[in-house]
Amino acid sequence: MNLMEFKGELEKLDMPIQYQSFSVGQAPDLPYLIFYEDDSDNLFADNANYFNNLNLTCELYSDTKDLELETKLHKLFYENEIEYNSTETYIDSENMFMKAYSVSIIFDAMADVKVKEVDKSKLQSLIDYVDTLKTDDYEQDGFDKLKTSLAYAKASLIDNETTQDEVDDNLDDLIDCLNKIILIVIEVDRSQLQQQIDYVDSLSASNYSIETWAIFDLAFIDAKKVLSDENATQTKVDNSLVKLIKGVLQLQKIDDYEKGRNLFAPLYWNSLGYEGGLDIKTGEINNYDWYVHSNFIEIPKNALDIVLKTKGSDSLYAFFYDKNKKFINYETKWGDKSAYKIQRDAEFMRISSNKQTPSSLLINQTKIEWDETTAYTIAPEDVKFNILTQL
314 and 372: one domain?
Answer: yes
- For residues 242 and 236, what is the distance between their CA atoms, to the nearest angstrom? 10
| Same structural domain, 108 and 125 | no
- The answer to whether residue 225 sits within a structural domain is yes
Catalogue the long-range contacts made by 165-169 (C-beta closer than 8 Å, 24 or more residues apart).
167/118, 167/119, 167/120, 167/123
Collapsing DSSP states into helix, strand and coil, what is residue 348? strand
**Coil, helix or strand at residue 2:** coil
Residues 107, 47: one domain? yes
pLDDT in the model for residue 302: 62
CATH code of residue 302: 2.60.290
Domain extent for 135: 121-180
DSSP category for residue 224: H
For residue 89, tell me if it sits in a domain: yes
Is 259 inside any structural domain?
no
How far is residue 46's CA from residue 321's CA, in Å, rounded to a whole number?
96
CATH number, domain at 72?
3.30.2000.10
Question: Per the domain annotation, does 257 fall within a domain?
Answer: no
Is residue 277 classed exposed, middle or buried when 0-12, 13-18 and 19+ CB atoms within 10 A define those classes? buried
User: Is 352 domain-assigned?
Assistant: yes
pLDDT of residue 391: 37
Alpha-carbon 355 to chain mean position: 52
CA distance from start to end of the chain: 104
The answer to whether residue 185 sits within a structural domain is: no
Q: State whether 158 and 214 are in the same domain.
A: no
Say what the pLDDT of residue 6 is. Answer: 86
Look at residue 152 and tell me if it is in a domain. Answer: yes
CA atoms within 13 A on the CB side of 99: 19
Predicted confidence at residue 336, as pLDDT, reads: 55
pLDDT of 20: 87
Q: Where are the beta strands (DSSP E) in the chain?
A: 17-19, 32-40, 43-45, 48-62, 83-91, 96-108, 291-293, 297-298, 305-310, 315-321, 327-334, 337-341, 348-354, 359-363
Burial class (CB in 10 A: 0-12, 13-18, 19+), 289: exposed
Q: Is the pTM of this model over 0.75?
A: no
Q: How many domains would you assign to the chain?
A: 4
- In the predicted model, residues of the chain with pLDDT beneath 50 are 113-114, 256-264, 356, 358-359, 364-391
pLDDT of residue 375: 35
Inside any domain, residue 81: yes
In a shared domain, residues 158 and 43: no
- Are 99 and 148 within one domain? no
